[in-house]
Amino acid sequence: MIASDTTIELRHLHRYFGETRAVHDVSFSVRRGQVFGFIGPNGAGKTTSMRILATLDLPTAGEALVDGFSVLEDPDHVRRRLGFMPDYFRTYANVDVREYLDFFARAYGLMGAERQRALRRVMSFTKLDELASKPIDGLSKGMKQRLCLGRSMIHDPTVLILDEPAAGLDPRARIQLREMIRALADDGKTVLVSSHILTELAEMCDTVGIIEQGQLLAVGSVSDIQARSQLRAEVHVEVLEGADGLANWLAQRNDVDKVRLNGARVVFEHDGDRDSEARLLQEMVTAGFRVVAFGSRALSLEDVFLHVTQGRIQ
């Protein structure tokens, strides 16, 4: 049994399909109440890993645990504690929203008043209560995604696995979905979510894992991965005059690289944190440069992803 605070753990997970190593020696853990972003190109091994966690596939080697229970030894316990939202789900003819959710509530063994409470809770959270009698094949893409999310959480699981939940959604629907995912985490649920929309993952995830060709290349917070990757922040400085002099002054420093001029603005890469940037600005002013603007562009999750991965496919 793993520590109670850890609700997802992969231990040296492998999944091979013939000569293809879909998942190769992947290990990471996610704590209760965290949103974990699973990032990688198509075919990297994300969906295979998630299917193993959801007990829909078996690993070639290694172990995966959900809320302390093994997907190999205790799959029934795992299914009661996990909700899986696939990247695509089928609709059914002549079934409305409430009937669809009620079917899955019954499938999880919810009966009587307990099932009615679960339906009210899920439909209120996903804001589908006003569409309860609407046929599901007439729902918009955004509403269908909410319905699929509701289906995955009808039994009040500890862990939610969401495979590309924002695919095909309009901006408003993506924002609303992001808010729901954060609300679930704030309520103590662990959420593992994969997406190609990296800007959104950066806004809602506590930690991320970057996978390519079945291998986990990096895991941790975006800032932690940045630090380990030795990525440099890009700094922009504007002075009233003497931009060329500032460029020459910066070029002599060991913590500065790739200095270039853009009119009155000097752009360069700086190897340091926010405190060292503040000291650098102070030194510029002390050296006599009349600085009127100073700022660094925060490195994004996209920057980190492009730096860590190599664009390989298998």
Q: What is the pLDDT of residues 201-244, one digit of tens each?
A: 877 889 999 999 999 998 988 777 766 665 667 889 999 999 99
Mean pLDDT along residues 126-152:
92
Q: What is the pLDDT of residue 13?
A: 97
Mean pLDDT along residues 299-314:
67
Angle among Cα 208, 211, 213 to the nearest 5 degrees reads 175
Please indicate whether residue 109 or residue 297 has the higher confidence score (pLDDT): 109
Q: State the pLDDT confidence band at 33, using cuts at 50, 70 and 90.
A: very high
Q: Classify residue 14 as exposed, middle or buried by CB count within 10 Å of its CB (0-12, 13-18, 19+).
A: middle
DSSP 135: B
pLDDT of residue 307 exceeding 90, the answer is: no
Q: State the pLDDT confidence band at 312, using cuts at 50, 70 and 90.
A: low
Tell me how far apart the alpha carbons of residues 140 and 138 are, in angstroms, rounded to a whole number. 7
Which pTM does this prediction carry? Answer: 0.79
Q: Tell me, what amino acid is at 3? A: A
Taken in order of first residue, the domains within the chain and their CATH numbers are 6-221 (3.40.50.300), 232-298 (3.30.70.100)
Q: What is the pLDDT of residues 36-47, one digit of tens each?
A: 999 888 888 999
As a whole number, the mean pLDDT across the chain is 89
Q: What is the pLDDT of residue 232?
A: 67
Q: What is the pLDDT of residues 158-196, one digit of tens each?
A: 999 999 998 888 888 888 999 999 999 999 999 999 987
